C-alpha cells in the first residue's frame, strides 16, 4: 500500500485464469464455478450479474482470499491471491458493524487490525464519512443508524486503508428500492472521485447496467461467465439514464442472454 490514489487505467488489476471451485467430495461433488476467465483493469468498475446460486458470491469470496479455489488462479497486480490481503476492501451483503464500536470505531477497524497510522487515518475517516454524508455521526453507534447509513459506514470501512481493490457483494440488496437507488448514485459519485477498481456483485440487471463500465453475465450450475458487455453510457449517470433507449437495450441484451441458458426462472 503506497497511499497514492493515482488513476492508472489500462494496467491489469485483477486477472482470473481458468478459475474453478468444487464443493463436497467423494461422489457428490458440486461444481460452483467452472473455467472462469476475466481481467479487470485498474480503475475499472466491473459488475457481475447473475441469478442467485450462480456462484457469484463464491467468486467474490475466492478473490477476497476467504475461500481457496479448486483450480486455476486469481492474480491481484500479478501476485496470486492465496489468502486475505490488506490491499483489498470488502463490503458484504449486510453491514456487519460491531455494536460496541462507534461509527468512527467501525470505520477504523481495518486500521486497528492492521496497525496502521491511527492519527493520519483518523483524519481520513472523518473525510470519508463526510464523503458518504455521515458527518456529525462519527460518535453515534450502529444501532442508531438506518440500514442505508449502516451500509455507508461499511463502505467507509472498506475504503479506509486505501485498498487497491474494492469487492462488493450485493451491498445494497437488503435496502429498500429507493434507498438502493440513492446508494447507487452515491457509489458512482464516490467511484468517480476516488477511481478505485471495483468488482461489484448483484442479481439486479438494472443496477448492473447503471453502475458498470463492464458487465460480466454469469449463469449457474456450473457458474460460468457467459458474456462480457461494455456499457457505453456517459458518466455521471443520473437515475433518468434508466429511461433511455441505450440503457434499455443493454438490459434486454443481458436478460435475453440469461433467459437463453435458463439462467432466469
Partner 1 sequence: MRARDFVLRLIFIAALLAVWEALVRVLDVPAYLLPTPSAIGRALVRGITSGLYEEHVGVTISETLLGFVVGTLGGLLLGTAVALSRRFDYFIYPIIVMFQAMPKVALAPLIIVWFGLGITSKVVNAGLVCFFPLMINTIVGLRSAEEDRVSLMRSLAASPLQIFWMLRVPNALPYIFAGLEIAMIFALIGAIVGEFVGAEAGLGMLIQSMNFSMDVAGQFSVLLILSVIGLVLNSLVAVVRRRALFWDPSSREGGGRTRLPAPRQQEAL
Is residue 84 within the footprint of partner 1 (CB under 8 A)? yes
Nearer to partner 1, 66 or 239 (CB): 66
Q: How far apart are alpha carbons 235 and 241 in whole angstroms? A: 10
Beta-sheet pairing, 12-23 with 30-41: antiparallel
Is residue 150 within the footprint of partner 1 (CB under 8 A)? yes
Residue 240 three-state SS: helix
Residue 228 three-state SS: strand
Put residue 169 in one of left, alpha, beta given phi > 0 → left and psi -120 to 50 → alpha: beta
Q: How far is the CB of 236 from partner 1 (least distance, A)?
A: 28
Is residue 234 within the footprint of partner 1 (CB under 8 A)? no
Q: How far apart are the first and last CA of the chain?
A: 43
Answer for which of 174, 182, 257, 264 binds partner 1 (CB under 8 A) is 174
Q: How far apart are alpha carbons 211 and 218 in whole angstroms? A: 17
Is residue 2 within the footprint of partner 1 (CB under 8 A)? no
Stretch that binds partner 1, among 38-46, 135-143, 206-214, 239-247 (CB under 8 A): 135-143
Is residue 147 within the footprint of partner 1 (CB under 8 A)? yes
Beta bridge partner(s), residue 219? 224
Is residue 243 within the footprint of partner 1 (CB under 8 A)? no
Nearer to partner 1, 10 or 99 (CB): 99
Is residue 171 within the footprint of partner 1 (CB under 8 A)? no
Nearer to partner 1, 5 or 176 (CB): 176
Angle value at C-alpha 39, between 34 and 42, nearest 5 degrees: 145
Query: Which residues 6+ apart lie within 8 Å of 261 measured at CB?
Result: 219, 226
Is residue 244 within the footprint of partner 1 (CB under 8 A)? no
Binding site for partner 1 (CB under 8 A): 61, 64-66, 83-86, 88, 90, 92, 94-100, 109-110, 112-114, 141-147, 150, 174-175
Amino acid at each position: 500500500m503506497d497511499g497514492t490514489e493515482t488513476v492508472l487505467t489500462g494496467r491489469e488489476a485483477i486477472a482470473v485464469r481458468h478459475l474453478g471451485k468444487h464443493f463436497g467430495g467423494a461422489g457428490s461433488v458440486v461444481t460452483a464455478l467452472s473455467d472462469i476467465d476475466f481481467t479487470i483493469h485498474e480503475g475499472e468498475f466491473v459488475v457481475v450479474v447473475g441469478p442467485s446460486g450462480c456462484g457469484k458470491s463464491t467468486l467474490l469470496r475466492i478473490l477476497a482470499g476467504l475461500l481457496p479455489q479448486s483450480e486455476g488462479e486469481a492474480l491481484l497486480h500479478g501476485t496470486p491471491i492465496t489468502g486475505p490481503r490488506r490491499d483489498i476492501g470488502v463490503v458484504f451483503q449486510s453491514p456487519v458493524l460491531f455494536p460496541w464500536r462507534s461509527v468512527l470505531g467501525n470505520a477504523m477497524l481495518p486500521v486497528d487490525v492492521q496497525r496502521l497510522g491511527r492519527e493520519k487515518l483518523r483524519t481520513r475517516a472523518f473525510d470519508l464519512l463526510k464523503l458518504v454524508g455521515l458527518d456529525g455521526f462519527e460518535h453515534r453507534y450502529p444501532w442508531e443508524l438506518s440500514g442505508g447509513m449502516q451500509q455507508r459506514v461499511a463502505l467507509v470501512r472498506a475504503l479506509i486503508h486505501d485498498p487497491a481493490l474494492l469487492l462488493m457483494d450485493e451491498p445494497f440488496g437488503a435496502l429498500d428500492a429507493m434507498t438502493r437507488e440513492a446508494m447507487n448514485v452515491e457509489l458512482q459519485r464516490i467511484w468517480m472521485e476516488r477511481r478505485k477498481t471495483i468488482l461489484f456483485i448483484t442479481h439486479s440487471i438494472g443496477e448492473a447496467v447503471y453502475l458498470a463500465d463492464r458487465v460480466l453475465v454469469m449463469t449457474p450450475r456450473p457458474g460460468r461467465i457467459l458474456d462480457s458487455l461494455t456499457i457505453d453510457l456517459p458518466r455521471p449517470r443520473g437515475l433518468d439514464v434508466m429511461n433511455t433507449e441505450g440503457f434499455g437495450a443493454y438490459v434486454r441484451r443481458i436478460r435475453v442472454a440469461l433467459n437463453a441458458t435458463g439462467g432466469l426462472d
